[in-house]
Amino acid sequence: MAFSKEEERILSRYVSNTDKDIYSIFNLPEEVIAVIFAYVSRSPKSFRENLLSLIQGKEVEVKDLMTVFSDEGITLETAKDKAKRFHEKWVVGYGHSSVAEHACIHLGVEKISRLASAELELAVRFLSFTEYSQRYQRPVRGDFFIPDSLNSGMKNKFIEFNNFTYDQYALLNEKLVSYLKSKLDKDKDESDRAFDSRVEKIAFEDARYVLPLSVFTNLGMTGNARAIEEALIKLLSSPVKEVRKMAEAIKQEGTAVVPVLIKYANENEYLKAASDKISSMKKSSQCTECDSSCTLMDYTGRGEKDPEDYALSIILKALSVDENDDDRKEAYSKIVEKIGKHDYPADVLRHITYNVKFNVSEACWHQLLRHNREICFSYQDPTVENRYIIPPNIRDAGLSDVVKKVIEKSNAFYDELMKEAPELAVYVVTNAHKRRIFGTFSLWELYHFINIRMSEHAQWEIQDLSKELLDQIRKHHPFFVEKIEERK
């Protein structure tokens, strides 16, 4: 459709062009955008045509968020009110929740515990995060979450414990920097400042193992309204009070952007009941795989004479390829032969799956849950019962006793809290303590995971985990692993 000069003038405030098939959309409230996309699904007109007719017909009135067009009678409040009524009827009333995916929210979520950040990041898959990293920054003394339900005596012990762990963290940082400077060589053309920065970051990475899960972190969060609503329902049903309060705050601030689309998110009785039932189930008293960071529990082709040949046949069947035309390995090679380091594999690899039990430190767990694309995790609550990890640099520097001293205090305080306030014991678990996690993922995700987690910049523990994982998969799918390793 060709627009008049006046129509182009109006539209130019909201779209990047008026004469191309692809254009960006801006300067509109998020819920108004969702409304207009909803109209597009029922109208033969384009988004621009619907937007124009809505403005001119005054069905939904909008304005540039930076400018008031009083002469056109366009008001933001009218636009929001119209959008609210639309969403109340169609999204809430009739359940057309896909419309909510067109409205996006950006939130800063600050001063939450590391415990709460993990719950938030795993609440639903379709949220995006950038988080403060203890690998690259030094936490501030006193920046930790204090549960408001602690009595005065326990509160003092809690603060004392957190201050103690920070003091040991600072000591480890200082000692590790001295040790690493004596052991590492400067790279060619590396300045003294760059070398000092590199050493400092290595020290940060290892010293953080003595910090507890109560330490604060910050996140930047982006998501569409439908995903955020689903996340809020889960978080509001959490047994952890801090997580519920965080969810209430996210809901309150999010409704400033999308007044309707997340306001009906509330705690869910089924999720609460299921969580209670799971918590009451008897847990295994010992971790039989504590010396291994991962155990491959199941995989495509398990029980077959040749598991990998069976997996290859699944891929060819999914592609509707005549298996007699090509050798199966040759056919697979054609699929992955040109895949580069930064390429995503073909979707057909998603049909090959793995179930893995992980037993990794809390520090590694935070690396594991971040940047994953398609891993489905189930995980136990933080505990002190699965042993702990001492980073190699700390051992080599003769500083293991510092970590052990923190672990002893953590274990003792954990046991004390389990008697007095069991729901709060999780906060004194350290980054060094191990957690058991169950993960399900595909061969597609394995390509992505290994590419990220075996790079030279990856954290040392997750690099070791990735190598061990590949070695276990290699026993059953050696050709797949060979092709993954060719990519590195």
Whether residue 370 sits in one domain with residue 221:
yes
- pLDDT at residue 61, as a whole number: 42
- Give the 3-state secondary structure of residue 146: coil
Which of 70, 102, 134 is where one domain is finished? 102
Identify whether 196 is part of a domain: no
Euclidean distance between CA atoms 266 and 251, whole angstroms = 9
Q: Are 91 and 139 part of one and the same domain?
A: no
- Are the C-beta atoms of residues 242 and 145 closer than 8 Å to each other? yes
State how many domains the chain has.
2
The answer to whether residues 55 and 117 belong to one domain is: no
Within a 13 Å sphere around the CA of 287, how many CA atoms are in the beta-carbon half? 23
Residue 76, pLDDT score: 45
* Residues 11 and 129 both lie in one domain: no
The ranges of the chain with pLDDT < 70 are 24, 31, 34-35, 37-44, 57-102, 282-291, 323-326, 371, 488
Same domain, 50 and 146: no
Q: Is 197 contained in some domain?
A: no
User: pLDDT at position 43, please?
Assistant: 64
**Could you tell me if 365 and 438 lie in one domain?**
yes
Question: Is residue 307 domain-shared with residue 349, that is, in the same domain?
Answer: yes
pLDDT at res. 45: 75
Any idea which residue has 């009333």 for tokens?
A: 93
Question: Rounded to an integer, what distance in angstroms lies between the CA atom of residue 46 and that of residue 48?
Answer: 5
Q: What is the pLDDT of residue 288?
A: 44
Report whether 431 contacts 209 (CB < 8 A). Answer: yes
pLDDT in tens, 139-166: 889 999 999 999 999 999 999 999 999 9
- Report how far apart the first and last C-alpha atoms of the chain are (Å, whole number): 49
What is the rounded (10 degree) CA torsion for 38, 39, 45, 49?
-100
The domain containing residue 93 runs over which residues?
5-102
The CATH code of the domain that includes 304 is: 3.30.1360.170
Q: Is residue 202 part of a domain?
A: no
